[in-house]
Amino acid sequence: MIEESINDVLFSEKVIAERIERLVEEMAKDNRCKKIVMIGILRGSFMFFADLVRALYHHGIHPIIEFTTMESYSGTESRGVVKVLKEFTTDITGADVIVVDDILDTGRTLDFAIKHLMERGAASVKTCVLLDKPERRILPLQADYVGFKIDDHFVIGYGLDYDGAYRELPYIARLTPKT
Ligand code: IMP
Ligand code: MG
């Protein structure tokens, strides 16, 4: 196993919570009168998703909650092919969907997710990510709601993993291999 170390904390629990509150104000304003289905892409989005829907509740937004499991990564490298490992069951025909992911990197996952949700009959699909690494983009995609833009670092914590580890950290940090 590669030894690695957690370097700088990029976003503390407090900073994340404050940013989510602002993000949710924006989302609540745009989606007030709609019947929303929120779909979290597992596993990376689980912590962000839970904090988002709790904050949305306090703004009077009560979405239907769904999850799908998709994968495009192995270690710190994007494999380029997105796979649905677990489908969702809710009928989204005619629904306004907000799809939530941990991070927008090459854009492959969200691009695939948007097409997939439209094929399943969504009336509209908006995207929400906690982190955005614009430098790494391969497909021309912008998320509707972005928590933080970051430089091209591999990050862990708050749902994000390195080979399955570190998802439980309540903050976001950079991961660098030990030399
Ligand atoms: P994309 O399909 O390349 O945009 O990648 C999105 C997915 O890659 C996310 O759902 C993450 O699971 C994973 N990913 C991208 N960058 C990182 C990172 O810095 N740390 C952990 N996972 C990442
Ligand atoms: Mg992921």
* Burial class of 64 by CB neighbour count within 10 A (0 to 12, 13 to 18, 19+): middle
CB atoms within 10 A of CB 12: 13
Contact 106 CB / ligand 1 (< 6 Å): yes
pLDDT at 1 (0 to 100): 40
- Determine the pLDDT at residue 130: 98
Which residue is closest in CA terms to ligand 1's atom 22? Answer: 160
Q: Is 103 in the pocket of ligand 1 (CB under 6 A)?
A: yes
Q: Give the ligand at the shortest distance from the Cα of 155.
A: 1
How far is it, in rounded angstroms, from Cα 92 to Cα 90?
6
Evaluate: CB of 42 within 6 angstroms of ligand 1: no
Ligand 2 mean position, distance from CA 70 (Å): 7
The tokens describing 105, both together, are: 């990197």
d(CA 112, CA 169) in angstroms, rounded, equals: 28
Nearest CA to ligand 1 atom 9: 103
DSSP-derived pairing of the beta strands 77-86 and 96-104 = unpaired
Q: Which long-range contacts (CB under 8 A, 24 or more apart) does 116-120 make?
A: 116/84, 117/39, 117/92, 120/92, 120/93
Q: Running DSSP on this structure, what letter comes out for residue 39?
A: E
Q: How far is the CA of 21 from the centre of ligand 2 (A)?
A: 22
- Best mutation site among 72, 108, 151 for ligand 1, i.e. most ligand atoms within 8 A of its Cβ? 72
The whole-number mean pLDDT for each consecutive block of 10 residues of the chain, a chain of 179 residues, reads 69 98 95 89 98 96 96 67 92 96 96 96 97 95 97 96 94 82
pTM, full prediction: 0.93
Q: Residues with catalytic annotation?
A: 105
Report whether 35 contacts 95 (CB < 8 A).
yes
